[in-house]
Amino acid sequence: MRQDWVYRLSPLRKLFVALALCLAMFGLFISQHPAGFSSNVLNTAANKGALLGLVAMAQTVPVLTAGLDLSVGMVFVLSNCLASSLLAGSSSATALGVLAVLATGLCCGALNGAVVVLGRLQPIIATLATGAIYHGLALWLRPEPGGEVNEDFADFITGSFAGGVPFSLVLLAGVLLLVWLPYRLSVAGRAAYAIGSSEQAAHMSGVPVARAKFLAYVLAGLLASVAGLLLTCLTYSGEANAALGGSYTLNSIAAVVIGGTSLFGGSGGAVGSVVGAFVLRTIGDLLFVFDMDPMWQPLFLGVVLIISVGLGSFRLLRSKNRLELYR
Amino acid sequence: MMARVAASLRRIDKAVLVASGCSVALLAGGALYEPNLLSADYLLQQLQVASFLGVMATGLLLVVLLGHIDLSLPWVVTIGGMMSTSAAGWGALGSALAIPFAVLCGLGIGVVNGVGVAYLRVPSMIFTLGMNAIAQGLMVVHTSGFAPQDHASPAMHFVAVERSILGIPNALWIWLAVAGLTVTLLTRTAFGRRVYAIGNSERAAFLSRVNVKGVVLICFAISGACSAFAGALLAGYSTKAYQAMGDPYLLPAITAVVLGGTSILGGRGTYLGTMSGVIVVTLLSSILSIVQIPEAGRQIIYGVVIIVMLLVYGRGEQVAG
């Protein structure tokens, strides 16, 4: 019986490590914070973490199929630019705006999926190129930073409930429960894992390979646009910032890896990526509360990233056959 | 005679033909708008600018041929630029050794990348990403404590800007020299064969007693050295080194390598292809800025052109049993 549990929980080991790391760092952050634990501190941390968490979740789905989406950051920026002009006016107009932004995310994802599946191009280079297109569209929508946002709606999204629970955390949990979980349990979700493990075996077993891959990119586009909405609510404006998009794309890959998803596909999940995103964001906060000179911050972030991915190479010591190391 | 020409034409990659064709088409299309585009001066200047990207793409090609990628390129380029100008500030000796010192720094980062990928077996995409952050951190620390000298040495200016032989830019001669070395390395040495072998199947290469780890380490080291060298050239070209000077080069470098017909999965690709990829990428961005399309349109056209070119020849195999 015990053996059974060990077997079932072993794929989640990396997730638990990341979660423990995240909680420990957050505890340290709170204990050192001058204001102590308050709903405000929690809310700020949650908003920052949720932003990267959603983009990381978007990145996870194509990575599970052994693909990659280098355009998530640009879809995020494009959604931000679109939302900064659509989330205005009455509440019904705002609701329509939200739907329009989500639909745009879906379309971007569908274009990625079409290029990767129908065009049979390598995902890395195909999404790099579509990312340039989305950046162009974002620049076209918003040549100068600015915009107008329904502030009541924005404040609700980025605020907290009466109990001090940040809405962004509820949003994150909602997306995990209502989008990720049904997807994970669906045929398309299981197909994504199967494709990541072995595309040929999946194809031979009658898994709908093309459809599942396409859906993975569509879902990535949708999730990235949710993050774009959240960013718009945080800043009340839109900006076609290529550097921002690029850094979110790269950080999303780091969050996915820290969260225990293999870049070779087939194992991991969105929950881990969200935890990984919070780990990355808490590292930045820790530097702030420890009063470190800001000039050391980028170096420290890089060192932590390298160490956390380097720790995984301890598994090499356990490998019995050297051939296993090579693909 | 005809048969021999036909045979040598067949040996040339489809990718090289399409990329060169696109370059000619771009020039012809641009010349309708601005006839100066066909002048020798404009073409030489484009080739000079392409040389910097070409040197960066050289290292990236080696890494991509192995089936890996080097995302630390932007800040290793910046390290190359900033270290060379800092060295130029250390008197006559520093000024003389500016470029070798920059290359050595890049080589160091490349060796760390190689150790991480080859010996620790961390996926190259994430390890080089982390090294990029570390390189950035080092440069931020380097410049914020004191203000190091950031002007290029006369030697760097000479190498990157001047035209000493036959009116051809020195940078272009350097790119041609790098190209000659790389083509020899890839096609005439056992090392080159091993690079292709590892790219096709790491496991098979290992079983054939190829020193897989050593080859991977060397390729990443060369990639770091090439990026830093290109950074020193860029600093010489713009007479200054500055933060994030390498950031605009990562995507064009990857694009150039892939447009040149190199498989991003490794094992397939030629240096000639990469050269034509570099030229087409440089011409595309130059002509888009000459015809005064706003930045938004430029980005969209850039993305669409890359996808269309890849659809012509870069398509993968259909999954089959």
Q: Look at B310 and A129 and tell me if their CB atoms are within 8 Å.
A: yes
For helices A91-117 and A72-86, give the axis angle rounded to 10 degrees.
160
Task: List Cα–Cα distances, A104 to A218, A226, B73, in angstroms.
Answer: 11, 11, 32
- For A177-194, write each residue's pLDDT tens digit: 999 999 989 999 999 999
Residue with tokens 């579509």: A130
Residues of A (221-280) whose Cβ lies below 8 Å from B: 240, 243, 250, 253-254, 257, 263-264
How far does the CA of residue B1 sit from the closest CA of chain A (Å)? 38
A324 CB within 8 Å of a chain B CB: no
How far does the CA of residue A191 sit from the closest CA of chain B (Å)? 15
Cβ contacts of B95 within 8 Å, gap of 6 or more: B87, B88, B153, B154, B155
A297 CB within 8 Å of a chain B CB: yes
Which residues in chain B have Cβ-Cβ distances shorter than 8 Å to A300?
137
Write down the CATH number for the domain with range B13-313: 1.10.3470
Cβ contacts of A252 within 8 Å, gap of 6 or more: A52, A55, A56, A58, A59, A72, A73, A273, A277
The whole domain housing A138 covers: 42-304
| Whether the Cβ atoms of residue A213 and residue A65 lie closer than 8 Å to each other | yes
Residues of A (140-159) whose Cβ lies below 8 Å from B: 140, 143
Query: Which candidate in A81, A130, A139 is best for mutational testing of the B interface (most B CBs within 10 A)?
Result: A139
Q: Which amino acid belongs to residue A150?
A: N
Of B127, B212, B319, which is closest to A209 when you measure between CB atoms? Answer: B319
How far does the CA of residue A298 sit from the closest CA of chain B (Å)? 4
**A120 domain residue, yes or no:** yes
Q: What is the pLDDT of residue B5?
A: 67
pTM equals 0.84
Q: Look at A306 and B127 and tell me if their CB atoms are within 8 Å.
A: yes
Q: What is the pLDDT of residue A212?
A: 92
Cβ contacts of B286 within 8 Å, gap of 6 or more: B46, B49
Cβ contacts of A31 within 8 Å, gap of 6 or more: none
* Mean pLDDT comparison of A38-42, A107-111, A254-258, B115-119, highest-scoring range: A107-111
**A161 domain residue, yes or no:** yes
| Nearest-angstrom CA–CA distance, A231 and A243 | 15
Give the tokens for residue A202. Answer: 């999946």
Q: Quick one: three-class SS letters along chain A?
A: CHHHHHHHHHHHHHHHHHHHHHHHHHHHHHHHCCCCCCHHHHHHHHHHHHHHHHHHHHHHHHHHCCCCCCCHHHHHHHHHHHHHHHCCCCHHHHHHHHHHHHHHHHHHHHHHHHHHHCCCCCHHHHHHHHHHHHHHHHHHHCCCCECCCCHHHHHHHHCECCCCCEHHHHHHHHHHHHHHHHHHHCHHHHHHHHHHHCHHHHHHCCCCHHHHHHHHHHHHHHHHHHHHHHHHHHHCCECCCHHHHHHHHHHHHHHHHHCCCCCCCCCCCHHHHHHHHHHHHHHHHHHHHCCCCHHHHHHHHHHHHHHHHHHHHHHHHHCCCHHHHCC
How far does the CA of residue A52 sit from the closest CA of chain B (Å)? 17
Chain centroid to Cα A305, Å, comes to 17
How far does the CA of residue A164 sit from the closest CA of chain B (Å)? 35
Question: Residue A242's closest chain B neighbor by CA?
Answer: B248
A306 CB within 8 Å of a chain B CB: yes
Of A122, A204, A299, which is closest to B137 when you measure between CB atoms? Answer: A299
Of B126, B137, B316, which is closest to A298 when you measure between CB atoms? Answer: B137
Q: Look at A326 and B212 and tell me if their CB atoms are within 8 Å.
A: yes
Cβ contacts of A193 within 8 Å, gap of 6 or more: A64, A266, A267
pLDDT at A103 over 90: yes
Q: What is the pLDDT of residue B321?
A: 42
Residue with tokens 């089959």: B320
A298 CB within 8 Å of a chain B CB: yes
Q: What is the pLDDT of residue B247?
A: 80
In total, how many domains does chain A have?
A: 1
CATH number, position A55? 1.10.3470
A161 CB within 8 Å of a chain B CB: no
A291: region left, alpha or beta (phi > 0 left; psi from -120 to 50 alpha): left
When pLDDT is averaged across residues A67-76 and rounded to a whole number, the result is: 91
- Reported confidence tier of residue A62, pLDDT bands at 50, 70, 90: very high
Q: Which amino acid belongs to residue A322?
A: R
Question: Residue A305's closest chain B neighbor by CA?
Answer: B130
**A12 domain residue, yes or no:** no
- For A276-285, write each residue's pLDDT tens digit: 898 888 887 7
Task: List Cα–Cα distances, B317 to A120, A122, A129, A292, B308, in angstroms.
Answer: 7, 11, 20, 52, 17
How far does the CA of residue B121 sit from the closest CA of chain A (Å)? 7
Q: Look at A119 and B125 and tell me if their CB atoms are within 8 Å.
A: no
B304 φ/ψ angles, rounded to the nearest 5 degrees: -65, -45
Q: Look at A143 and B258 and tell me if their CB atoms are within 8 Å.
A: no
Which residues in chain B have Cβ-Cβ distances shorter than 8 Å to A203?
319-321
For residue B243, the tally of other CB atoms under 10 A from its CB is 17
Question: Complex ipTM above 0.85?
Answer: no
For residue B40, the tally of other CB atoms under 10 A from its CB is 8
| Nearest-angstrom CA–CA distance, B266 and B222 | 17
What residues in chain B have per-residue pLDDT under 50?
321
Give the tokens for residue B286. Answer: 């130059």
Q: What size, in residues, is chain B?
A: 321
Q: Look at A301 and B296 and tell me if their CB atoms are within 8 Å.
A: no
Q: What is the pLDDT of residue A107?
A: 94
Task: List Cα–Cα distances, B239 to B85, B151, B158, B232, B303, in angstroms.
Answer: 9, 6, 11, 10, 31
Which residues in chain A have Cβ-Cβ distances shorter than 8 Å to B138?
299
Residue with tokens 């718009």: A232
**A104 domain residue, yes or no:** yes
**A320 domain residue, yes or no:** no
Q: Look at B141 and A313 and tell me if their CB atoms are within 8 Å.
A: no
| Nearest-angstrom CA–CA distance, B74 and B76 | 6
Give the tokens for residue B117. Answer: 């990928």
Query: Which candidate in A122, A247, A296 is best for mutational testing of the B interface (most B CBs within 10 A)?
Result: A122
Of B206, B264, B300, which is closest to A137 when you measure between CB atoms? Answer: B300
Q: Which amino acid belongs to residue B59?
A: G
